[in-house]
Structure 1
Amino acid sequence: MKKFLITAITALTLTVSSTAFAQDTAKAPTPAYMIGSYDIRDEAGFQKYIEAAAPLVRQYGGRVIVYNPGPKPIVEGEPRSVIAIAEFPSLAEAERYYNSPEYTAARKFFTDSTEGWRIITEGADLPQQ
């Protein structure tokens, strides 16, 4: 009976350990971000962009995590009038959004109504403490 109990406990420990190891090695994709800093030159055109693009962000798995018209510089430099960040589950999803036919059409409203820059980048894949 004692030998059976030790064998059962060992088997259970190995099962739990291997499951935990498999979960640790199956990392989620690194999130990606579309980051922009721009000035709005044409409010009506920019509003068309927002109406066309906002639902697409959600459709492609993203969410706007920062939209700040009128940011104040805290450290250094002069920001543009708007800072915006949209987060996507992965770089592939962000690129799928950006290159989609729907966003390509909406993007024209953005480029015609703003001046500034936007980038798509992966986030940091740093160990969490």
Structure 2
Amino acid sequence: MAKGYWIARMDIHDPERYKDYVAATKAPFEKFGAVFHVRGGEATALEGKARARNVVIEFASRQVALDCYNSPEYQAAAKIRQECAEGELLIVDGV
């Protein structure tokens, strides 16, 4: 079974509030076995619009990635993120 990955590209408008989002994601990420491969760091835009923060998170499968996103715990965190950041979040299948 292929792993599922979250790819998040965000511009953060309120860094202090974003800390609340990060704290709120700890429980659901632990519950669903999230493994971070990229969490911030320097990025070089080669094509398209760059975002300030880029994150890649691995889950055991696409379904687990979806279950984490749809969980009540993550949805509470997502509301915080949506207040202080904008960008893209998608789930892709691994190879």
TM-score, normalisation: structure 2: 0.90
**Aligned match of 1:82:** 53
For the residue of structure 1 that corresponds to 2:40, the secondary structure is strand
2:10 touches 2:53 (CA, 8 Å); kept in 1? yes
Structure 2 match to 1:61: 33
> Of the two structures, which has the highest relative contact order with CA contacts closer than 8 Å and spacing of 6 or more?
2
Name the CA distance, whole Å, in 1 between partners of 2:27 and 2:20: 12
Tell me the secondary structure at the aligned position of residue 58 of structure 1.
Answer: helix
1 CA distance for matches of 2:42 and 2:13? 14
TM-score (structure 1 length as normaliser): 0.68
C-alpha distance after superposition, 1:44-100 (max 9, x if no partner): 221100001033212101111101244222x33441101101100001111110111
Q: Percent identity?
A: 31
Alignment map for 1:35-50 (pairs within 5 Å): 35-50=7-22
In structure 2, stretches of 5+ residues that fail to align are: none
Q: Which runs of no fewer than 5 residues in structure 1 stay unpaired?
A: 1-28, 125-129
1:12-68 CA-partner distances (Å, limit 9, x unpaired): xxxxxxxxxxxxxxxxx2000010111000112211000010332121011111012
Give the number of the structure whose residues are more often strand, by fraction.
2
Aligned length: 95
